[in-house]
Structure 1
């Protein structure tokens, strides 16, 4: 069976990020009808959209902050207004900020919980009535290293562990409706996370090299490889992969 998303409606959040962008481009290659969601990155999202043209038509682009009230509803409502259905939801939006139990404020905790956990949870809730009709599926993006105890990653790891648990529990609840829910758990991947942590572009390669030296392959994961796995899981190739947390990290989590 070949991967085929022709006439299927796919929502990708975090579409202006590297993993999100690679996922979007791959879905476009399989002729999906895309809805691309990004935050405050109009030019980057526009560039991704231009690479995702199908039959001369650009994807629907929605530029907003998903943590703002009403934003998740806007994504679902605009998708239904244009396409009338939802087949796949890719929850790729996320953020990494250093946080510790020794922090003197709760603001970073609230910020990371909001985008990394509350947003995918709520989008899943809103999408489920439409996914019931299409027998569609959801792919959440977690992190394979979230079970390793790394100083400064407290809040981030809490959210990514929670996404994995949410995936398992929600899949059990939704499977009776023909909906599959899985998570992909990448290891250290070349994304925009370090840029968003104010690492200068000219220092990115050195930063990735320094991080990766602690892992078996000594190389970061390519976003395009993660995208391929996401597309495979979201396709109809393996209808019994459900409630799974699937790692792609070069055995890093095994250390």
Structure 2
């Protein structure tokens, strides 16, 4: 059985999707939680999905993770409330549609600031406390870090950078007892595509396509990613570091398809 009892976990982007599912699972596994996101009401919805007995050990930090002050507040609130940090789940991320001909540099900057620069910043701030606890970092990357897709250039670049960040930091910290891993989901049933502007009909077609380009014939579920994050964060994965775990129903095994 996976147990996170008495662990203190920071989860960014906890207001929806994979972050929300991971928060609810971590609470069930006994972790104390520091949840961050930009939408206070959505964070409350995440907390309300947790068992009432666990809610007293959950705090939220509302803010944009790409802003250094938000990262500082997350660490401050974690230490003020719980006195330590055991686990960092860098989940917050955004997706913007554009290829080389249409990408705007301000969109590129926003995406990189959120998907990679904020991860580096928060990891550095948490690191002294993770070293003290010999803790664990799990980064939420994407299949787009290793496979190429049209019309999401900056997103693919950010996830490739996150994959390298994961492996380099794992090597830097292995001898000091902190493990660093990543999960690389394929298509997961969440709202990220809708937030990126897909209409309901486009989203329906996107999910139909996922049945064809994932070897297992379906998109994935949030809990399937959350379960893997929990395992990697837990002591059951005590000899695993620097891994990029594909949670994609075999999508990375498939040949190229037309993603336009």
2:143 corresponds to 1:144: yes
Alpha-carbon distance change, 202 to 29 in structure 1, aligned in 2, over 3 angstroms:
farther
Which secondary structure does the structure 1 equivalent of 2:56 belong to? coil
2:31 corresponds to 1:42: no
Counterpart of 2:118 in structure 1 is: 119
* TM value normalised by structure 2: 0.92
How many angstroms apart in 2 are the aligned matches of 1:64 and 1:33?
Answer: 20
Counterpart of 1:65 in structure 2 is: 64
More helix by share: 2
- Whether the aligned pair in 1 keeps the contact of 2:67 and 2:118 (CA below 8 Å) is no
- Whether the aligned pair in 1 keeps the contact of 2:188 and 2:219 (CA below 8 Å) is yes
Alpha-carbon distance change, 71 to 154 in structure 1, aligned in 2, over 3 angstroms:
same
- Whether the aligned pair in 2 keeps the contact of 1:12 and 1:24 (CA below 8 Å) is yes
Q: How many residues align?
A: 253
- Whether the aligned pair in 2 keeps the contact of 1:145 and 1:253 (CA below 8 Å) is no
CA offset at residue 55 of structure 1?
4.3
Counterpart of 2:230 in structure 1 is: 231
Which secondary structure does the structure 2 equivalent of 1:189 belong to? coil
Unpaired runs of 5+ residues, structure 2, are 255-260
How many angstroms apart in 2 are the aligned matches of 1:104 and 1:3?
Answer: 43
CA offset at residue 78 of structure 1?
1.0
Counterpart of 2:220 in structure 1 is: 221
- Whether the aligned pair in 2 keeps the contact of 1:19 and 1:227 (CA below 8 Å) is yes
Deviations 1:1-48 (Å, cap 9, x if unpaired)? x32211110011010121111101111111110111111x22221011
Alpha-carbon distance change, 126 to 104 in structure 1, aligned in 2, over 3 angstroms:
closer
How many angstroms apart in 1 are the aligned matches of 2:162 and 2:55?
Answer: 36
- Whether the aligned pair in 2 keeps the contact of 1:184 and 1:247 (CA below 8 Å) is yes
Alpha-carbon distance change, 24 to 202 in structure 1, aligned in 2, over 3 angstroms:
farther
- The correspondence of residues 128-167 of structure 1 with structure 2, limited to 5 A, is 128-167=127-166
Deviations 1:194-232 (Å, cap 9, x if unpaired)? 121122457644432234422222311111111001101
